[in-house]
């Protein structure tokens, strides 16, 4: 089923108006490929994009189409013709040719600022793909171009090829909200990873301290090891372990000492002598 719509384009300020003795040529930016728009299509708001391939077909189809005023479809309302079209950097540019017999119209176009800044493109959607509310137009048949006044109220079939500031703000707001949500999720994941790293680091430090205690306890008198173990287990740093070991080393000097006679000593005082 064909869908009728109109597409509004803007005066192409990047190109100069050309004038001969008989005609005036004015270029317009018509469409941009893959640029989302939200028009009324058959009285329903739809998000629409044109493919690069559809622009190439429109470029060929649009040449020779009549230029009207305000979509009044009548031979009397033809004021010009589309003389050429080209696609540059995903942008369709059409040039309209207006005879100088249209003196009033040409004078309005030449005014600075000119009240005529836009054209509306009328035609049919011949082929499209629709998914999740997005219409991707793959083939479009151009019927005519119409000169319109900038700021005029669009009719229900008009598709504005320029996103309004409000639409741009809405898109930008949605992009910002999406990025903020992604940043929040990434931050939560990062905090979780940092907690895991902190736990692993703490576990590693405990293992290293335990190994350090096992080595240092060998430096004190074996008779004090059992006494030292509870205090060493309470130590939370190598500095504390070192201090405890030094304290227990000092305690060694106060421990009682005695010499055990060798079993080979046969003196009467030796209780360990071999009989």
Indicate if 157 and 36 belong to the same structural domain: yes
Q: Does residue 232 share a domain with residue 97? A: no
Q: Look up residue 149 and give its two tokens.
A: 């006044």
Residue-wise pLDDT for 210-245, tens only, equals 999 888 888 888 888 888 888 888 888 889 889 888
Identify the weakest region by mean pLDDT among 43-52, 53-62, 63-72.
43-52
Tens-place pLDDT, residues 69-87 = 877 888 888 999 999 999 9
Residue 115 lies inside a defined structural domain of this protein: yes
Give the pLDDT confidence score for residue 79 in this predicted structure.
92
Q: Is residue 269 part of a domain?
A: no
Tell me: the pLDDT tens digits for 5-14? 555 555 554 4
Tens of pLDDT along 146-165? 887 653 333 322 233 333 34
Which pLDDT does position 158 carry in this prediction? 29
| 3-state DSSP of the chain | CCEEEEEEEEECCCCCCEECCCEEEEEEEEEECCCCECCEECCEECEEEECHHHHHHHHHHHCCCEEEECCCCCHHHCCEEEEEEEEECCEEEEEEEEECCCHHHHHHHHCCCCCCCEEEEEEEEEEEEEECCEEEEEEEEEEEEEEECCCCCCCCCEEECCCCHHHHHHHHHHHHHHHHHHHHHHHHHHHHHHHHHHHHHHHHHHHHHHHHHHHHHHHCCHHHHHHHHHHHHHCCCHHHHHHHHHHHHHHHCCCCCCCCCCCCCCCCCCCCCCC
What is the percent of the chain where pLDDT is above 70? 76
Cis peptide before 113 (omega within 30 of 0): yes
> Quick one: 156 and 30 in the same domain?
yes
Question: What is the predicted pLDDT for the residue at 39?
Answer: 63
If asked whether residues 31 and 146 sit together in one domain, one would say yes
Does the pLDDT value for residue 66 go beyond 60? yes
pLDDT at 115: 79
Looking at the predicted structure, is the pLDDT value of residue 189 above 60?
A: yes
Question: Would strands 47-50 and 44-45 be described as parallel, antiparallel, or unpaired?
Answer: unpaired
Mean pLDDT of 47-54: 88
Residues 197 and 140 occupy one common structural domain: no
Q: Say yes or no: 131 and 203 in one domain.
A: no
| 34-46: average pLDDT | 72
Do 96 and 194 lie in a common domain?
Answer: no
Quick one: pLDDT at residue 154?
36
pLDDT tier for residue 101 given thresholds of 50, 70 and 90: very high
The answer to whether position 140 is within a domain reads yes
Q: Are residues 136 and 47 in the same domain?
A: yes
Residues 244 and 150 in one domain: no
Its domain, for residue 202, covers 187-252
Cα 208–Cα 214–Cα 215 angle in degrees, nearest 5: 90
> Is 196 domain-assigned?
yes
- Whether residue 136 is predicted with pLDDT greater than 80 in this model: the reply is yes
**110 and 13 within one domain:** yes
- Which of 147, 163, 179 corresponds to the end of one domain? 163
Residues 112 and 196 in one domain: no
Is residue 270 assigned to a domain?
no
Q: Answer yes or no: are the C-beta atoms of 82 and 145 closer than 8 Å.
A: yes
Mean pLDDT of the chain: 78
- The answer to whether residues 27 and 138 belong to one domain is yes
Report pLDDT for 97: 93
Number of domains in the chain: 2
More confident residue, 30 or 188: 188
The predicted structure's pLDDT at residue 173: 75
Note whether residue 57 is domain-resident.
Answer: yes
Tell whether pTM > 0.75: no
pLDDT of residue 156: 25
């Amino acid at each position: 089923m064909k869908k009728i719509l109109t597409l509004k384009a803007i005066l192409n300020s990047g190109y100069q108006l050309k004038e001969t003795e008989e005609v005036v040529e004015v270029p317009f930016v018509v469409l941009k490929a893959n640029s989302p728009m939200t028009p009324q299509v058959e009285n329903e708001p739809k998000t629409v994009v044109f493919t690069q391939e559809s622009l190439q077909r429109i470029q060929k189809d649009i040449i020779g189409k009549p230029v009207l005023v305000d979509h009044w479809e009548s031979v009397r309302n033809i004021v010009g013709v589309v003389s050429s079209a080209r696609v540059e950097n995903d942008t369709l540019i059409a040039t309209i040719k207006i005879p100088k017999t249209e003196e009033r119209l040409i004078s309005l176009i030449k005014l600075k600022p000119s009240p005529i800044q836009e054209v509306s493109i009328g035609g049919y959607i011949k082929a499209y793909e629709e998914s999740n509310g997005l219409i991707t137009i793959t083939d479009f048949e151009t019927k005519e171009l119409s000169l319109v006044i900038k700021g005029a109220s669009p009719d229900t079939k008009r598709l504005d090829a320029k996103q309004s500031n409000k639409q741009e703000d809405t898109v930008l707001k949605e992009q910002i909200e999406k990025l903020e949500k992604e940043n929040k999720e990434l931050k939560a994941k990062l905090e979780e990873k940092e907690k895991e790293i902190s736990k692993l680091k703490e576990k590693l430090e405990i293992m290293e301290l335990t190994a350090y205690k096992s080595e240092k306890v060998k430096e004190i008198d074996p008779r004090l090891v059992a006494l030292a173990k509870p205090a060493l287990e309470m130590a939370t740093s190598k500095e504390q372990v070192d201090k405890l070991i030094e304290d227990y080393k000092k305690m060694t000097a106060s421990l009682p000492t005695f010499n055990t006679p060798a079993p080979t000593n046969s003196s009467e005082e030796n209780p360990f002598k071999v009989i």
